Amino acid sequence: MRRRWILLCCLLVVAGCKKHREEASAVPEQALIPTTAPEEFGPRSADVQYISVDFAKAFSERGGALFIDVRGDHVFDMEHIRGAVSMPLQDILNGRLPDVPKDTLIIAYCGCPHSMSSAAAEYLQKRGFTNVYVLDEGFYEWKERGYPVEGRADADQQLQRMSIVGQAPGLAPGTPVYASEPRTGQLEASEIRDDGTYEMHLPFYGLAAGVTIEVSAGDRSAVVPFAPGVTVQVTLGPPAVPTAKSGKSR
């Protein structure tokens, strides 16, 4: 009889813990950003769900969610959402997965504000994770609102911004556009709009003016010097086709 009582108590505790975890990871409908909402923070993918920074902060405070920062280790070390873990987008696309149950509430974020985190969320969903969301406004809006971050004390002094706008004639809408600094691995992303244009904002840390920034989309690429506080135009045209040299036969 005593054994049955102990077993019953154990089952009740397990059931209670499971219910608490499910409640802690339940995202209310009002927390979600409709895909059709005004694109104040850039285009959204129809394949993932977006959550506002205000509701995400509530999960950060009470626990029950895993925040993953997909921007890259260098940027993560500078500053990140308190309690987040670094999982660079390229690592995820190469098969690195969170070591948590597949139904864990995961909130992915980047700084662009959600191009890279959307790609990460789509990949995680394809690998069986069932409770993945994207921070709609991105890391820097989280920080602007005074929500908790951690990292280096001099992060604000190290942070500099540059914008890139341009066209990519002939590339399909939705094609990812990347801007990277190879030495530190800092990376930001955007995508081609329906009219063939794109726009990127690069919040990079610790770069001197003139450092090479690589811009790429599909099989196209260009390089520009880093110019803090400046907006530059970069057209990603088709790759040059080598011409055959004619020579006289002997």
| Residue 112: per-residue pLDDT | 87
Q: What are phi and psi of 26, to 5 degrees?
A: -80, 125
Q: What tens digit of pLDDT does each residue of 78-97 get?
A: 999 999 999 999 999 999 99
Q: What tens digit of pLDDT does each residue of 12-40 get?
A: 333 344 443 444 456 666 556 555 444 54
| Residue with more model confidence, 216 or 41 | 216
Q: How far apart are CA 187 and CA 74, in angstroms?
A: 10
37-46, 113-122, 169-178: the lowest-pLDDT one: 37-46
Task: Summarize the confidence of residues 148-169 as an average pLDDT.
Answer: 95
| Residue 8: per-residue pLDDT | 38
Whether the bond between 101 and the residue before it is cis, its omega within 30 degrees of 0, is no
Q: What is the DSSP string of the chain?
A: -HHHHHHHHHHHHHHHHHHHHHHHTPPPGGGEEPTTS--TT----TTSEEE-HHHHHHHHHH--EEEEE-S-HHHHHHEEETT-EE--HHHHHTT---SS-TTSEEEEE-SSSSHHHHHHHHHHHHTT--SEEEESS-HHHHHHTT--EEE-TTHHHHEEEEEEEEE-TTPPTT-EEEEEETTTTEEEEEE--TTSEEEEEEEEESPPTT-EEEEEETTEEEEEE--TT-EEE---PPPPPPPPPP----
Q: What is the pTM of this model?
A: 0.80
Task: Summarize the confidence of residues 69-74 as an average pLDDT.
Answer: 96
| Residue 47: per-residue pLDDT | 79
Write down all domains in the chain, each with its CATH number in brackets: 25-151 (3.40.250.10), 157-233 (2.60.40)
Average pLDDT for the chain: 85
